[in-house]
Each structure stands twice: as structure tokens, then as C-alpha cells.
Structure 1
Amino acid sequence: MTGIPKNKNLQTAIKASLNAGKAIMEVYDTAFNVEIKDDKSPLTEADKKANDVINSYLKSTGIPIISEENRRIDYAIRKNWDTCWIVDPVDGTKEFIKRNGEFTANIALVEHGRPLLGVIYVPAIKRLYFADVQKELAYSADLPSHGSSIDMVDAIAKPLKPKTPSNSVEVVGSRSHMSQETMDFVEKIKSTGKEVNIVSKGSSLKFCLVAEGNADIYPRFAPTMEWDTAAGQAICNAVGIKVISEDTKEALLYNKENLLNPWFVVSNQ
């Protein structure tokens, strides 16, 4: 037993993610339209529907919500929030449009800028990742349906275990277009005599690769927003993996005045 039922906020976030996943897949199986937002990123009906579903669950907690698809709330208001939800209803919309299955629904609960709980749901394969940072527990569960109960999740969830460091280092990156900064990072690891292999995944699944032991390091030297990383950071932090800002050399923080993240490195090294 994972103890999910004892944590009502985690229970609510899991239910929200599974129901969002159902809404996402209903759109995925149709000839959906793609809009382009002001920031040039794509938007589909799945983003909107999943956002509505997740908001409907999280509003019951009385905790304010920062979401990619919600109206941006001014920092003059947000700075007074000790606790908030940070949500990306469809992380990896480009992957969704490509129909490669590597997209997720991300929900995190943050207190004083630090992730407490994280849920990542991969609706295309019905895989759920979730974590309680304070209890240092993180799990994955391969579910029979989007309608799986909390008791079902609790019964089949397996603890996540990071990889034991070795001479072979799996680095999360893009096979097709690695940035120069990432290539330099890889060369630096190679210079220590270690063998480097590149593993690739879309969306917040990059965090999950490290947390579940299928990669060692995820360097991100490109823009991300808080909703792209908060749930993944919670899952990593719960199993002792740090997510470190390249600017501050400290952990990434949330509900900042500017919701854009600095570059960062996720590592179990």
C-alpha cells in the first residue's frame, strides 16, 4: 500500500489526471484542429478539455491554480500564495500532434516555491507516475483504464528506483537536434572516462526516465516554463534526485514573478 488514501490532495490530483487523460484520448482519436497561440506554441481541443477537467477537481481543494491554459494571474496576487497547484493539462502538445504517445498531464502541488506532490499521467499507455516528496515516496502504475480507482492505483503501484551510477552514463537528450550546450555537456562527461549513451523522450517523461532508473542525467539548456517541470521535479526529488538551476546552483523554485525557468540539470550523480 502506498498511502495515497491518507493524502487527499494527492488523491485529488491523481483523479484529475486520469480523467484529463480520458478527455485527451477522446480528442486524440479524432481529426482534431490545431491552433497557434500568441507565443507560437500549438493548442488543441485536448489542451482545453483537459484543463477544464483538472480545474474542476483542483478547485474543490480551495488552493489557487497556475496553469498553462488559465488566464495569467498577476504576480502582485500570486506572491501572497504560500501554496498553489501548477498544472500543464497537455505537456508535449507537439508530441500529441505527431501522435507518438509521448505526452502527459502534469499536476504539482507547491509550497513556498518547492514541490510537495507530483502527478504525471501518460494517457496513451495509461501509465501513472506520482510522488509525495515529504514522505520520500514515488511510484508508477500501469493502469487497466483511465477510470481506475484510487484503490486500484494503490494496489498495483510500484516504487521508483533511480539507477545506480556506473561507468556508463545515460543522458536524456534529442537524437536529432542536440544543442551545442548539450553536446559540450556530453563531451565533459566523456572526458572523465565514462561511456555516454543518449536516450530520448518527449515532454515531462524525461524526468521520469531519471526517476525510474532508465537514465542518469537530463540537462535542459533550452526554455521551459514552471508547468513543464514542477510535477517532474516532485517525482525526482521524492527519490533523492536533484533538479538544479544553472543560474543559482540551487533547486528550481516555483511561483516566481517570471514563470520561465532557468536552464537546469536533473541528475542522480
Structure 2
Amino acid sequence: MSKYIFDLFQVCLNAGNEIMEVYSQDFDVEFKEDDSPLTVADKKAHNTIATGLEKLDAGIPVLSEEGKEISYEERKDWEQFWLVDPLDGTKEFIKKNGEFTVNIALIKDKYPALGVIYAPALDTFYFGVNDEGAYKLNNASKVNIKNLDDLINQSVKLPEVTKSNVTNVVASRSHMSEETEAFINQLDGEINVVSSGSSLKFCLVTEGKADYYPRYAPTMEWDTGAGQAIVEAAGGKVTRYEDGERFYYNREELLNGWFLVSK
């Protein structure tokens, strides 16, 4: 298991503490140029994660939703980098439904090598490393974890659910497109639609609680990197809508095309 995972676990817990401190209070909501919401929790989580990653390995650059804009010219030759969404699901955070996450992925040669996702309100930590498996830790901030062995031993290997007579499709609470509905309608047998926010949709597929997550609507690279790493570590796939090829990263345009997650 990657040497980075235990340190990333601690970074996520620290960011989660910052997020939950804001979550428990009244807070203001700003709007960015693309009309997406922004809160002080996004900013605090970004600062905490950036500091933690700098201490972990100062030689690996960071591309974060809330960090400074980095030109393609500057990043096009990166062999590896951290891809970060300090608070994924800001809309869910504002609604106070608990379905928001901290996402950190290590991208190597354009593909996710490892990923961690922490849902601070649910206190659940997911992590996965390419070719080494994916795991889930409940009550993450409450259990006694001193090292990587503790983390692995106290976590559940994913997927947990392997067989079902029902096809479960996970879709966003905040985004449901006509194309997503069409995908659901073409499936055979009994279909159950599971709603979820943020990168937790990837986690549901990783756990085996959902068979598919079709995302036929816009996302950004930092929305998907960690989720893809964890899904793939559990044996699943994240493929481009247009040609079925594996999703890749550090493109000139950071806006994602449509994709399908399958277990």
C-alpha cells in the first residue's frame, strides 16, 4: 500500500475538522465566475490540504479547485501531481445534508495512481491504490489509527456487496440530465435509482451498492480523480462516454466530458 496513504488520512481528517467547524455555524456563501458556490470552508480546507501536501512531498505539484490557476503550459509536462477538491459537494454542504467530501488523488502519467475521499459529516474515509485494492473506514476520526497497518486492518476491503438481482444506478441529487434518465430507461430488469451527492457516488459503486454511475453533465478534473482511483482499485471502470476509453487527466481543458462509472 502506498507510503502516502496514512499521511493523506491525517491530512483529510485535519481538513474535515476545518470543514465541520464552519458547518456547525451560520456561514456566508459567495459565488465564483461560473456561478458555483464557495464558502469559507472551501478555503480553509484548501489551505490545510496544501500545507499538508507540501510537508508530505514538496516536490509534487498541486492542482486544486481553490488554488491558483495554473496554465497548461506550466503543467503539461508534469509526470505526477496532486489533484485536489478541498470540499466537493459545496451545494450539499450548504443544504447541510452531510453529503460532501474531501478529495485527493495522485495522478501519474495522466492516470490516477491512488485516491482518498473523506466525508467529514459521515466520518467515513475511503482509499484506494492502483493494483492494491480499495478500502473503507467508518468512524474515521474516532478509531485509534497510528500507522498504515492500523488503517488497513481496521478498514473494510471493497467491494462489500457483490451480488444483487436489482440493478442499482446512482445519480446526483443536484444534477439529473435527460441523458441520464435515458440510460436508466434502457437497462433491463428491476432498476433502483440511488441518489447521492458529491464524490460519494463513486464510493457507492466502489462498495458494490451501485452498478452504474452515469454522469452525462459537466464536472471538473478535481471532481473525479480521487473517485476514479478508488473505483479502479476495487476493479471498476471509469470510461469516456464518446469512445469507452479510460478517463485521463491533466488535459488542456480541465472541464470533463461525459463519463460512465461501472463496477
Distance 1:148 1:42 in 2: 35
The aligned amino acid for 1:171 is V
CA deviation string 1:185-241 (max 9, x = no partner): 111113xxx111100100000000010011100000000001000000000000110
The one of 90, 96, 102 aligned to 1:93 = 90
Superposed CA RMSD: 1.8
Partner Cα distance (2:81, 2:204) in 1: 26
Q: Deviations over 1:150-202 (max 9, x none)?
A: 43533411101164355420001247873211111111113xxx111100100
Equivalent pair of 1:103/1:202 in contact (CA under 8 Å)? yes
Retained in 2: the 8 A contact 1:79–1:255? yes
1:105 aligns to 2:102 (yes or no): yes
CA contact 2:135–2:152 (8 Å) conserved in 1: no
Letter in 1 for 2:136: S
Does 1:149 pair with 2:145?
yes
Structure 2 partner of 1:48 = 43
Q: How does 1:36-75 map to 2 (within 5 A)?
A: 36-60=31-55, 61=57, 62-75=59-72
Report the equivalent of 1:168.
Answer: 166
Q: Contact (CA 8 Å) 1:165, 1:216: kept in 2 or not?
A: no
Q: 1:243 to 1:177 in 2, by over 3 A?
A: closer
Instruction: Find the partner of 2:257 among 246, 253, 262.
Output: 262
- Partners of 2:144 and 2:123 lie apart in 1 by 10
AA aligned to 2:122 is: I
Distance 2:13 2:144 in 1: 8
TM-score (norm: length of structure 2): 0.93
**Unaligned runs of at least 5 residues, structure 1:** none
CA deviations over 1:114-136 (Å, ceiling 9, x no partner): 1011000000021000011132x
> In the alignment, is residue 226 of structure 1 matched against residue 225 of structure 2?
no
| 2:239 maps to 1:244 | yes
Structure 2 SS opposite 1:248:
coil
2:119 maps to what in 1?
122
Q: Percent identity?
A: 52
- Matched residue of 2:22: which SS? helix
User: Structure 1 residues 177 and 13 mapped into 2: Cα distance closer, same or farther (>3 Å)?
Assistant: closer
* Conserved? CA contact 1:143–1:153, under 8 Å: no
**Corresponding position of 1:12:** 7
Contact kept, 8 Å, 1:163 with 1:214, in 2: the verdict is: yes
* Aligned pair partner of 2:200 in 205, 210, 215: 205
Q: Distance in 2 between matches of 1:45 and 1:148?
A: 29
Q: Extract structure 1 runs of 4+ deviating beyond 4 A.
A: 174-177
How far is the alpha carbon of 1:20 from its aligned partner?
0.3
Question: How many positions carry a matched residue from both structures?
Answer: 259
Q: Is the 8 A contact 2:6 2:151 kept in 1?
A: no
- Does the 8 Å CA contact 2:125/2:140 hold for their aligned counterparts? no
For residues 212 and 95 of structure 2, what CA distance do their matches in structure 1 show? 26
Task: Work out the CA distance in 1 between the residues paired with 2:175 and 2:139.
Answer: 33
Superposed displacement of residue 11, structure 1: 2.3
